[in-house]
């Protein structure tokens, strides 16, 4: 089971990596836009790759196969740990097959159904990213999608890794891992929520208050 951080914020990535909490990073154009300003996105991807020893998903922004393959090839040249993210469209699936045949790992993103996940695996995806929270947002059952994909991939020995995405709270994380997702990618806020527990805070406050009464240094 792996945990990725879903952000392009270098400070958050470095801090989580320093504690050994994360195995990789996912980004998307919206997350990049939050931090990029007038910087070259390629520089940002390189900095992220240097901050974490694991896969870093960097997404294409083209919508036609040829340009996706060109962007994906340039993204992959930034660092050996780049996984190129392509959208789950017909052009995206063809680009996935082409990039995968060049030994570039591909993360097929914006997956909202089991048949889409099946086709991404057929196209050679290294990762499939089902978006749990966005399905829940429209009153569908995001977690059920993870279950279906797990069953289908296991039934037919498909090696594409299920990367549970669009996770909005700790229960999403725990449930998707219980369902057999290979990876959960979390926004920093969800990672912080996983760490915190009110009983930990109360217990720590009581320990420190008792120590204070002793009036000693350690
Ligand atoms: C994953 O790769 C996506 O970047 C992300 O999980 C999308 O999450 P959102 O639906 O909260 O934007």
Mind listing the pLDDT tens digit for each residue in 27-44? Answer: 999 999 999 999 999 999
- Name the β-bridge partners of 2: 183
pLDDT at 4: 98
Residue-level pLDDT at 85: 98
Per 3-state DSSP, the chain is made up of helix, strand and coil in percentages (nearest 5) of: 55, 15, 30
Half-sphere exposure of 20 (CA within 13 A, CB side): 0
Q: Could you give phi then psi for residue 161, rounded to 5 degrees?
A: -85, 135
Angle between helices 65-76 and 41-51 (to 10 degrees): 50
Q: What percent of the chain has pLDDT over 90?
A: 100
CA dist., res. 142 & res. 134, Å (int) = 8
**Secondary structure E strands in the chain:** 2-6, 24-26, 56-59, 82-87, 106-111, 127-130, 161-164, 183-186
List pLDDT tens digits, range 150-162.
Answer: 999 999 999 999 9
How far apart (Å, rounded) are the C-alpha atoms in residues 104 and 126?
A: 9
Q: State the distance from the centre of ligand 1 to the C-alpha of 59, rounded, in angstroms.
A: 12
**pTM, entire model:** 0.96
The answer to whether residue 85 is catalytic is yes
Residue nearest to atom 11 of ligand 1 (CA): 166
Q: Look up residue 77 and give its two tokens.
A: 């040249």
The CA angle 28-32-37, to the nearest 5 degrees, is 165
Confidence category of residue 137, pLDDT binned at 50, 70, 90: very high
Protein residue with its CA nearest to atom 12 in ligand 1:
166
Ligand 1 centroid to Cα of residue 158, in Å, is 24
Coil, strand or helix: which one is 79? Answer: coil
Helix (H, G, I), strand (E, B) or coil at 37: coil
Contact (Cβ atoms closer than 8 angstroms) between residue 153 and residue 162: yes
- Cα–Cα distances (Å) from 175 to 118, 128, 147, 193, in that order, read 21, 17, 10, 15
Task: Tell how far the Cα of 75 is from the centroid of ligand 1, in angstroms.
Answer: 19
C-alpha 214/C-alpha 125 separation (Å) is 60
pLDDT tens column, 31-89: 999 999 999 999 999 999 999 999 999 999 999 999 999 999 999 999 999 999 999 99
Give pLDDT, residue 108: 98
């Amino acid at each position: 089971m792996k945990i990725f951080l879903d952000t392009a914020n270098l400070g958050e990535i470095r801090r989580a990596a320093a504690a050994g909490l994360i195995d990789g990073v996912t980004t998307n154009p919206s997350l990049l836009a939050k931090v990029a300003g007038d910087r070259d996105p390629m520089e940002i991807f390189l900095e992220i790759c240097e901050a974490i020893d694991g896969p870093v998903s960097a997404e294409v922004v083209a919508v036609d196969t040829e340009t996706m393959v060109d962007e994906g090839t340039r993204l992959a040249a930034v660092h050996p740990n780049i996984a190129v993210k392509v959208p789950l469209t017909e052009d995206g699936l063809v680009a996935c097959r082409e990039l995968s045949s060049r030994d570039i790992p591909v993360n097929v993103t914006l997956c909202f159904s089991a048949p889409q996940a099946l086709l991404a695996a057929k196209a050679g995806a290294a990762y499939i990213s089902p978006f749990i929270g966005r399905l829940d947002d429209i009153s569908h059952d995001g977690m059920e999608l993870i279950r279906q994909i797990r069953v289908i991939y296991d039934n037919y020995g498909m090696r594409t890794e299920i990367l549970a995405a669009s996770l909005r709270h700790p229960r999403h994380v725990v449930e998707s891992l219980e369902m057999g997702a290979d990876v959960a990618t979390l926004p920093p806020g969800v990672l912080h929520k996983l760490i915190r527990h009110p009983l930990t805070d109360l217990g720590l406050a009581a320990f420190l208050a008792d120590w204070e009464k002793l009036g000693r240094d350690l």
